């Protein structure tokens, strides 16, 4: 009787080990991943394109890793920005919809990146700008994001460019060159 339970116990342990090996080979992120390679890639290249699983959750770990590495992180939706150069580095006007009941107004907003870089906390390494839904940006806009990070070394950009089975990243310069 004890041999039967030990056999079933070994079977369960083998099954769990097989599941763990499968998860590792398929590319699931382990629970305690350090994210050092991701941080190193972001710091070296300045702009990184990421592909995230559609169920979500994985990118949150890497956002936390950026904050833990000393970056002030800001999250922005890529599709609604309009002209990236104006939005990031110049004072730009925004016209809210008037719906036919109010007069047409224009509000002027400070440049997003310039404002946050000027107001960085003294202990921060820099500003990490995380753009989600970046698959709607064209090649010229991606090239601009790569260029702005080389012009301003304290700025790092991470753009979600699509979905994948596992969290994957690549320097934006390589993505722009391949497109």
- pLDDT, tens digit, 9 for 90 and up, residues 132-150: 888 888 899 999 999 999 9
DSSP symbols for 35-80: -HHHHHHHHHHSEEEEEE-TT--HHHHHHHHHHHTTEEEEEEESGG
Span 104-138, pLDDT tens digits: 888 898 999 999 999 999 899 999 999 988 888 88
Percentage of residues of the chain with pLDDT beyond 90: 42
What pLDDT score does 94 carry?
84
Q: What is the CATH number of domain 33-178?
A: 3.40.50
Give the per-residue pLDDT at 71.
94
Which tens digits make up the pLDDT trace of 80-111? Answer: 788 888 899 999 888 888 787 778 888 898 99
Length of the chain: 179
As a whole number of angstroms, the distance between CA 179 and CA 176 comes to 5
Task: Report the predicted TM-score, pTM, of the whole model to 2 decimal places.
Answer: 0.75
- Report which of residues 173 and 179 the model is more confident about: 173
């Amino acid at each position: 009787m004890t041999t039967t339970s030990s056999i079933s116990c070994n079977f369960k342990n083998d099954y769990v080990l097989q599941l763990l090996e499968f998860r590792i080979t398929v590319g699931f992120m382990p629970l305690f991943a350090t994210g050092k390679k991701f941080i190193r890639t972001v710091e070296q290249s300045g702009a990184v394109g990421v592909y995230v699983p559609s169920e979500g959750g994985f990118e949150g770990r890497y956002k936390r890793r950026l904050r833990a590495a000393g970056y002030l992180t800001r999250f922005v939706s890529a599709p609604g920005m309009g002209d990236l150069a104006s939005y990031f580095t110049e004072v730009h006007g925004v016209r809210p919809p008037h719906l036919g009941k109010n007069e047409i107004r224009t509000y002027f907003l400070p440049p997003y990146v310039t404002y946050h870089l000027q107001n960085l906390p003294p202990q921060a390494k820099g500003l990490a700008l995380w753009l989600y839904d970046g698959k709607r940006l064209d090649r010229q806009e991606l090239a601009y994001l790569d260029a702005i990070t080389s012009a301003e070394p304290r700025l790092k950009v991470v753009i979600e460019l699509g979905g994948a089975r596992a969290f994957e990243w690549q320097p934006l310069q390589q993505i722009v060159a391949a497109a």
